[in-house]
Amino acid sequence: MVDFIVVGGGSAGCVVASRLSENPDVSVLLLEQGPRDNSPYIHMPVTYYKTAQGNLLQRFEQVRSEADKHLGAQTMVQPRVLGGGSSVNAMLYIRGAPDDYERWVEQGATGWSYKEVLPFFKRSEDNDRLSNEAHGEGGPLGVSDPCYVHPLSRSWLKACQEAGLAFNADFNSGEQAGCGFYQLTIRNARRSSAAVAFLKPAQRRSNLKVRTDCRVLRIVFKQGRAVGVEIADGQRTSTIYADREVIISAGAINSPHLLMLSGVGPAAHLRSCGVDVVHDLPGVGQNLCDHVDIYMTYQLSGPYSYDRYKSPLWQSWAGLEYLLFRRGPVTSNVMDSGAFWSSSQSTDRPDIQYIFLCGSGIESGAPVPGGFGCTLNATHIRPKSRGWLGLRSSDPAQPPHIVPNYLSEPSDLGCLVEAVQRGQEIMSQKALSKYIEREHMPGKQLMTKADYEQYIRQYAQSSLHPSGTCRMGTDDLAVLDPELRVRGLDGLRVIDASAMPSVVSGNTNAPTIMIGERGADFILRSLT
C-alpha cells in the first residue's frame, strides 16, 4: 500500500508525483501505460515530429457528426509515453490569455482567476530571458528563446508587420496580440519535458516509485471512497491500494474513460454498457473541447527552408554540429515564430493563432509541395463547438466512443475562413515574395466564402488539444469541484487538461502543467 497513486505519467501526472514526493512523510506511486522516454527523438528538438510514429501516441477513431463528417481529422490521439504531451509536442510555451481564466471562474471554477493561477505558472518556470511580474526563474521547467532561428522565420515576421500585425516580444505577458518568436520548453538545446524537468530529479527520492508499461483497468471503490486501482502488468492483473488518494492524470480522453469503466459517470449510459454504477455523475465525458487547425503550404524558389536538410549530406552536417557544439538546426523546433490575431468573430481578443513552419511535410496531414517548401498553420483558439465521449462496452481494451462535433457552431467555421484569408495576405507580402514561387495549397483560386468553407472542411484537422471532459465547477454537470476532487466521492481527484471548463487560447501543455502544480498544492495543503 502507498499513500498516493497517480494514474498517468503525462504533463500533469509528472508534476503531481514530483511535488507530492517532496513531502518525505508520504509515499507516491506513478503508473504510466506507455514506455519510458528513452527515444532520442524525444529529446532533440528538431526530431519532435518523429515522435508521432510508433507507439508513443494512442490513436482513437472518431465518430462523425453531421457537422464534421467531412472534416479531415480522422483520429484523436493521446500521448502514451512518460512525460505525455510534453514529450511529443512542438515545445511551444503558451499559457493562453488572462481572460481564459476569468472565464473559468464565470463557469464555476472558483479560485482559478488569472491572478490566482499566475503564481503556479511562475513556480514551474525557469525562464532564460524574462524575469518580471509575469515570469519565474529557478523552477524545474526550462523555458527559453529559440536556440536557432531560421532566416525565413525572420522574413515571415517582417511580412506579418507589413500586413499590419505589431511585433510582440512576449506572448505570455498578458497580451497575446501580434507577431513574434515563441518561447519554448527547451533547456541546453534539449527538450525540457515534464518527465525530464519534474520526474527525473524526483526519482532519486525513496518515497516515489514509477512503473511504466502498466495499464490501469479500473478504480477500486469501497463505501463511496476510492481505495486503489486494478492494473494489468503484462498478462497479470492485480490490485494496488492507496491509503490517502487516487489521482487520475490520464488525459482528456483516458481520464473520463477510466472513470466510466469504474462506474462513475452517466448512470443510464453505464448500465447500457454493462457497467455497475458506483456514482451517477452525468458530466463525465461531456464538454469535449479541442482546437481545429488548417494548413497553407508554399513552394519556395530555392533551398530557403529546413527542407534542405532532407539531404543526407546536410543532415550529417547538422547532426555533427549538434553533437560537437549543441547548436545549429537540430536545436530548432522548426516553428519558432507565430502570431495571434482577432477575427471579426471576436471583437476584443485574439481567436486565431498562427504558427510558421520553415519546412514542409513536418506536420501530419499538411500537403507537401515539390522541392523546397514552407507551411503556415492557422488555429481557431476560442471554439464554441463541444463534443462528448462515452463507452463502447465494459471492456477496458475497447476504445471510447468519441464524437468531437468539430465546427458544429457556424462561427467556428467562419473564424477559420478568415484565418486562411489573412494567412494568404501575410504570405503575399514583399518580405516573402523573393522566396516564394507559388502557393501549393489551397493553390487554386478560392473566390467565395463557400470555396473557403469547402477547403477547410476537406483539410482542417484536430490540433490535438482535447480538454474539458471532467470539467470543474459547481453546477450539476460539473465533474470536479474547484479543488479537483470528484464530486460525491472521497479519495479521488482528476488533475489534467480534462479539468478545464473550456480550452485555453493556445497550446495546452503549459496550462496542464499549471493544473498539476495547483492540484498538488491542494493535496499538500490538505495534509497539514
Query: Taking 70 as the threshold, does the pLDDT of residue 5 lie above it?
Result: yes
Comparing 60-74, 400-414, 417-431, which segment has the lowest mean pLDDT? 60-74
pLDDT of residue 366: 63
Q: What are the grid coordinates assigned to 98, written together?
A: 488572462
Q: Which residues pair with 310 in a beta bridge?
A: none
User: 3-class SS at 422?
Assistant: helix
CB 285 within 8 A of CB 256: yes
pLDDT of residue 58: 80
Comparing 25-29, 30-34, 156-160, 315-319, which segment has the lowest mean pLDDT? 315-319
Q: Tell me if residue 291 is catalytic.
A: no
pLDDT of residue 318: 84
Average pLDDT (142-153) is: 96
Band the pLDDT of 156: cuts 50, 70, 90: very high
pLDDT of residue 195: 98
Write down the catalytic residue from 135, 279, 440, 465.
465
* Per-residue pLDDT tens digits for 428-473: 999 999 999 999 999 878 989 999 999 999 899 999 999 999 999 9
pLDDT of residue 48: 84
Query: Taking 90 as the threshold, does the pLDDT of residue 6 lie above it?
Result: yes
- Distance, in Å, from the CA atom of 84 to the CA atom of 318, rounded to the nearest integer, reads 28
- Distance, in Å, from the CA atom of 301 to the CA atom of 111, rounded to the nearest integer, reads 53
Question: Which percentage of the chain shows pLDDT scores above 70?
Answer: 96
Tell me phi and psi for residue 492, to 5 degrees: -140, 125
Dihedral angle computed from the Cα positions of residues 71, 77, 83 and 88, in that order, rounded to the nearest 10 degrees = -50
* Per-residue pLDDT tens digits for 31-73: 999 999 999 999 999 998 888 766 788 877 666 655 555 565 5
pLDDT of residue 363: 64
Name residues whose C-beta falls within 8 Å of residue 329's C-beta, 6 or more positions apart in sequence: 46, 148, 150, 306, 309, 318, 321, 322
Average pLDDT (370-398) is: 95
Band the pLDDT of 228: cuts 50, 70, 90: very high
CB 354 within 8 A of CB 180: no
CB 68 within 8 A of CB 45: no
- Distance, in Å, from the CA atom of 99 to the CA atom of 502, rounded to the nearest integer, reads 12
Name residues whose C-beta falls within 8 Å of residue 203's C-beta, 6 or more positions apart in sequence: 210
* Per-residue pLDDT tens digits for 273-297: 999 999 999 999 999 999 999 999 9
Give the single-character DSSP code of 372. S
Backbone torsion region of residue 23, taken as left when φ is above 0, otherwise alpha when ψ lies between -120 and 50, otherwise beta: beta
